[in-house]
Amino acid sequence: MPEPVNRRHFIKTTGTLAAAAGVSSLASASANAKGSNERIRIGFIGPGGRGFGAHVKTLAKMKNNGANIELVAVAEVYSNQRDKVADYIKQQNGNAPAKYVDYRDMLEKEELDAVCIGTPDHWHCKQIIDSLNAGKHVYCEKPMTKYVEEAMQVADVWKKTGKVMQVGVQSSSLPVWKQVNELLKEGKLGKVLQFQTEYFRNSNMGQWRYYALEKEMNPKTIDWKRWLGVEEGLAEDVPFDRAVYRQWRRFWPYGSGMFTDLFVHRTTTMLKGTGLRFPSRVVGAGGIYLEYDGRDVPDVATVVADFDSGVQGLINATMCCQESRIQQTIRGHYGSFVFGNGENFQTFKFIPERPQVTHNSKLKEEDIKVNIPLAKGVHSTDLHFQNWIDAISKNDPSFCNNPPDLGAAAIATVILGARSYREDRVFYFDGKTGSITDGNGSWSKQWEQRSHARKEAAHIPGWTAGNYGSTLDEPDYMKLAGPWINGKPPQNG
């Protein structure tokens, strides 16, 4: 598939805990949104698979459970899907939402308070920025953007507009990650050194080809050039193809395969749990080793991200092996947290290092209970949307569990990994300036210099445990170390 039109041109032109405990009504806190008598009016941009199955259906359920919201408009380039979504809202909530082809017409003509974006990745940045600048609160399905530069731009516009924005990584609303972060900052594992995470899958037909193609999908029912974003400079004009439209995650111009559909999930929660944000060095590897079905994106991939805090992140998966996944783990000098797979943890395991290292024979393996586990019948998607509505109610952008600054950090990690794989390059990233440069050897040199200067260990943000688990014992015989000058031994030699 062809690459999108010049990315620089595109960037230039684009200008709750209570719910987790057991929600009897998913709308309890949203009844006072915008004031006691004002409803939050929500429009939907591109409600396809996830946009319909999660965004529309979750909010329609919340509405029926008493949320002070109204689903008022749908913007969708596929006429059959547009009608399907509008009919569902009318059936569930009783109102007939307005229907649009172009989301910009919806933003202009409807009195909206918020929008949900469920379009392919290459549209996210422009639609987010257009919506924020139009004064709307935003929920955007992950990944937040397709490119790192776009993510930084979105975070900047979000800060300037002061609107509420939630990135759709639903597992970031699970309270377990706040609990993990507190334990790590208190030194439960000692010096934090590494996290590993995964999102393995398998399929007999190849990933994302399970999105069925239908005869009704054709140039008469789908505004193809508008879907591509040709006039906006988002993608080149190519012939209509049902597979590209329905299974766009397989092709680089519109998505990034497992990097943005799957890796961004686990990366976001690991960043939230550790308190880390932007990586400083990223490298990616992989290839298409089995799924020779016309796709662009790899079926085996690994991203290695290194952070200034002296922590490494390992993100790994195959799209062809599901029964032998690595376990999600955070490792420290004195122990590790092992979470297993999935996201709905009732407990996670603490595995201590041996007492010869920790000098503490009382440290034992234990199952740590999640303080506020996900209640039966409640999905993390429910929590995530409730959190977004609550943040709008409070008019507090910081209340969201996955705001754009966290979303941008996750994007920088996974997208630079994808670029490294594609371009055979190592990337350095400056989280303060957003600049991306090639590797030059300085990363390893700084750690060597730190070692030679006998400096203290670096730590995750918010660290409060002093030197616990971050120092080494010095054997007496190390006094004999040192260079022999002019044939003479060191001072103690």
Positions of the chain with pLDDT lower than 50, given as ranges:
1-33, 36
What is the CA angle 224-225-229, rounded to 5?
A: 120
Residue 6: the pLDDT is: 44
Residue 343: the pLDDT is: 85
This prediction has a pTM of: 0.92
For 55-70, write each residue's pLDDT tens digit.
999 999 999 999 999 9
With DSSP H G I counted as helix, E B as strand and the rest as coil, what are the percentages for the chain, rounded to 5?
A: 40, 20, 45
Q: Is 432 helix (H, G, I), strand (E, B) or coil?
A: coil
CB atoms within 10 A of CB 174: 23
CB atoms within 10 A of CB 477: 7
CB burial readout 40-73, b (16+ within 10 A) else e: bbbbbbbbbebbbebbbbbbbbbbeeebbbbbbb
For 362-384, write each residue's pLDDT tens digit.
999 999 999 999 888 889 999 99
Residue 376: the pLDDT is: 86
Structural domains of the chain ordered from first start: 6-216+242-493 (3.30.360.10)
Residue 37: the pLDDT is: 53
Contacts of 414 (CB under 8 A, 6+ apart): 143, 256, 259, 260, 263, 264, 267, 303, 315
Both tokens of residue 354? 């041996």
